[in-house]
Amino acid sequence: MNKHAAMRPELDQPLQRLQLSTRSRRAAEQLGLATVRDFLLLDKDRFLAAPGCGERTWRELESRVCSYLALRLSDTDARRDDDRPIAPLLHDENDALQLRDNGIATVGDFLARPRAAAQRIPCLRKNGWMDLLEAITRTRRQPPSAASLLPDALRTAQLRSAGIVDPLLQELLDLGCETIGHAMLLPACTFEAGGLLGPDAAATIRAAIGHLLAPALEPHDEATETDADWPSLRARLLAALDDDSRDWFCSRIGIPDGDRSAAPQSKPASAELAQRRDEAVRQRLLRRAPTLVQRLRREYLRELDAFEGAVPMDRLAAGTWLHAIGKGSGDAALPLRLLAFCFPAEAFFDGNCVSASPPRVWTRLRQRIRELTATRLLPVRLEDLAHGLSDVLESVPRGVLTRLIAEQPRLQIRIDDKRGEFVQRAQPAIEQRLERILAERGRPTRFLDLVFDYRERYQSANEGKLSSHLRRSNQFVQPADGMWSLAAWHVDELDQLRPEADRIVQAICAADGKQKVASLHAGDERARWLLDGLVRRDARIRWLGRGEACPATLTKSRVLDQLLRDFRKAAGEVPMSRFVENQPPERRRLVERLLQHNRLFVFPSPDRIDVLTNYPFNEERLQRLLRLVDDFLVARSGYAPLGVVVDEVNRCDLGGSWLHPTLLGELLRRHGPFETLPGGYVARKSLGLVGWLMRRARAALREAGVPIRVGEMLAQRPELAEFSDCLEELLAHDPLVAARDGGTFQIA
């Protein structure tokens, strides 16, 4: 210890007040250690050489002393904590008399008394000792935070001079609080409802401090401050710093380095070092350029209020210093980075705007908005969306909310005369492009012409996607077979047909099962196509395709209900091929597709089909299985043989002797983000393994130029050898590859 450290009064704290264990107390008494200073001056080897003083005892004493110093050395007033009277912490005056009779008048006296000795006092028996210790901890001064930022003149102001009178003043004095700084170090729970002082005491103290500061907080007349351009503001900022701090400041916020005299700043050794250097620069700016820093803060708060919580970098008010910095430097984000650097607790920059909410809050808000704006929940009123975010942020500023919605490309805010502002699904880019093409043509257009025009403008066009968007969007109608038009061109016709469409929808809802829409209305060809479009988009029915629809309330089709009844009669798995052959001819194709793709069914073996409910997989166990397999595949480059995955699943309660690779592959293919390969492999869909294999195989076929076998292909592409068992079947089903006699393949 140096001379100044040795003179600090905090080091005179008795060791017995640090709540030592019996072993540590005995060791301290044996070595004559009375205070914290005595322990710090003691050599560790001398301590360990004493009988009964081991490494464990030294670590406990060291931990207690370090914890005490961490709380006390940073606050000169905190050493008064143990000198406060203990009587205000007790509920009964008789208890205070008992403690005083036993020599315990202050908190320090209580902490210095061993627990066993203290519990001999009647009022500290049973839970009394622990209750009093909790009261001491609850009212102990906290490490200084906001109070340390106040000037000494305010921190040392006497509570009596602040206008606080009895009985509150006496309660504060009993807690060892004589100044405003002492009161600010009290824990927050002291002023909570049911706390030692309560919220009314907090309001009284707040009002008293407000009266003291009122003369200094008069509105500042900024008209007296002259406007400044970027070069002068830059000079004022950099003049407040020395060379080293100036280099660091410029590199941290991205100021052009024309005036930098030192070498470029190297990367800091750690994040903690960077934070310490940032704080040192901030403090120097506050001391050397307070007017400039405070002006920037006032402008930021005004902009924050004007934009309702989120200040964009391209909308700063003209005439402000923030606007001058952004415009003069040519970097629109520079003033926002400067605010985030100077006021790290008030301004948070995310690349496009600055706000008072930290990044972790924005992340949670984005996640919650995605949950509240799922497609099935849209449209949703803006007020309801803001209310749903209250579990993340009690009051979400409107500017923050609208910016979060604007970040989502699938969402947009619309204004309705009846519903007000609401959030709905944004029109996809494909629909916007199709609408633009039709508008430029100015007449109904054949679908193939739309596809060719779309491909010519945007390089690629998927006929299935274009058809899906045309049928799903209310912006388009089909006036004839294979023809598409804008709904805005047929407003009168659609208005005349709406009553007929409503009658058809009611007839479908009243019927049991699916209905042919064409059989429910009579009219010319043009009216029939327009009616189909109106009926298809009605929320009361479900469009099944091929001109058929059923009520939206039906959750299962008749075919699916009949299949489930057949499986209940079979009471187990059945042969797939024979079961399909026994179906009526008109249902055979549909039944086969349901058995191969519907999640209600699985293949326990290659030609056997069964119902999933016959296996021990409810929703919870199924999700556990999917997570387990996904984690396992991630650790193995995204794919693995099904047999290896089965062994991994059998290590927990999800597996068993009944779980075979075929059954597991079906569960993963039907219920999770996985794909199965013919050779007994399973892979994550995001890996795109099948596409990778086919691209490599086609490249080998093109290089060969003649029909070749799989073995010859593997000689050209050794990276495919691992998947030799499944390549032949994949190539046989590839429409771009032609299979020849003798098991040879070539590009079709």
Nearest-5° Cα angle at 49, 45 to 50: 125
Q: Examine the pLDDT at 264 and tell me if it is beyond 70.
A: no
Q: Examine the pLDDT at 673 and tell me if it is beyond 50.
A: yes
Q: What is the pLDDT of residue 739?
A: 82
Q: How far apart are CA 321 and CA 347, in angstroms?
A: 16
Question: Is 658 in the same domain as 723?
Answer: no
End position of a domain, from candidates 356, 386, 414: 356
Question: Is 682 in the same domain as 700?
Answer: no
- Helix pair angle (661-671, 642-649), 10° resolution: 90
Q: How far apart are CA 206 and CA 200, in angstroms?
A: 10
Report the candidate in 718, 602, 706 with the shortest Cα–Cα distance to residue 664: 602
Question: Is 192 in the same domain as 270?
Answer: no
Q: Convert the pLDDT of each residue in 160-184 to its tens digit.
A: 766 676 678 777 877 777 777 777 7
Q: What is the pLDDT of residue 4?
A: 39
Residue 45 domain-assigned?
no
Question: Is the CA virtual torsion 57, 63, 66, 67 positive or negative?
Answer: negative
Q: How far apart are CA 396 and CA 359, in angstroms?
A: 14
Range(s) of the domain holding residue 672 = 615-687
Q: Convert the pLDDT of each residue in 343-402 to its tens digit.
A: 888 888 887 899 988 888 888 999 999 888 887 788 888 888 888 888 888 788 888 898
- The structural domain count of the chain equals 6
Report the candidate in 250, 342, 306, 339 with the shortest Cα–Cα distance to residue 350: 339
Question: Is 449 in the same domain as 547?
Answer: yes
Q: What is the pLDDT of residue 438?
A: 92
- Taking the C-alpha atoms of 340, 342, 344 and 346 in order, what is their torsion angle to the nearest 10 degrees? -80
End position of a domain, from candidates 517, 533, 551: 551
End position of a domain, from candidates 687, 705, 724: 687
Question: Is 180 in the same domain as 240?
Answer: no
Residue 50 domain-assigned?
no
Q: Examine the pLDDT at 495 and tell me if it is beyond 70.
A: yes
Residue 421 domain-assigned?
yes
Q: Examine the pLDDT at 501 and tell me if it is beyond 70.
A: yes
Is 108 in contact with 17 (CB distance < 8 Å)? yes
Q: How far apart are CA 572 and CA 608, in angstroms?
A: 10
Q: What is the pLDDT of residue 218?
A: 42
Is 641 in contact with 662 (CB distance < 8 Å)? no
Which pLDDT band, with edges at 50, 70 and 90, does 522 fall under? confident
Residue 29 domain-assigned?
no
Cis peptide before 379 (omega within 30 of 0): yes
Q: Looking up tokens 């310490």, which residue turns up?
A: 276
Residue 97 domain-assigned?
no
Question: Is 403 in the same domain as 302?
Answer: no
Q: Which residue has the higher pLDDT, 485 or 715?
A: 485
Mean pLDDT of 192-213: 76
Question: Is 433 in the same domain as 417?
Answer: no
Other CB atoms within a 10 A radius of the CB of residue 95 amount to 19
Question: Is 346 in the same domain as 236?
Answer: yes
Which pLDDT band, with edges at 50, 70 and 90, does 213 fall under? low
DSSP per-residue letters across 557-619: -HHHHHHHHHHHHHTS-EEHHHHHHTS-HHHHHHHHHHHHH-TTEEEEETTEEEEGGGSS--H
Residue 37 domain-assigned?
no
Q: What is the pLDDT of residue 265?
A: 44
Residue 368 domain-assigned?
yes
Question: Is 474 in the same domain as 513?
Answer: yes
- Mean confidence (pLDDT) of the chain: 81
Question: Is 255 in the same domain as 203?
Answer: no
Question: pTM (2 decimals)?
Answer: 0.41
Q: What is the pLDDT of residue 6?
A: 44
Q: What is the pLDDT of residue 7?
A: 46
Question: Is 457 in the same domain as 538?
Answer: yes
CATH no. for residue 634? 1.10.10
Is 479 in contact with 485 (CB distance < 8 Å)? yes
Which pLDDT band, with edges at 50, 70 and 90, does 293 fall under? confident
Percent of the chain predicted with pLDDT > 70: 89
Question: Is 300 in the same domain as 257?
Answer: yes
Q: What is the pLDDT of residue 224?
A: 44
Q: Examine the pLDDT at 222 and tell me if it is beyond 60.
A: no
DSSP per-residue letters across 172-192: HHHTT--BHHHHHTS-GGGGS
Q: Convert the pLDDT of each residue in 393-439 to its tens digit.
A: 878 888 889 888 888 888 888 887 666 888 888 877 888 889 999 99
Residue 275 domain-assigned?
yes
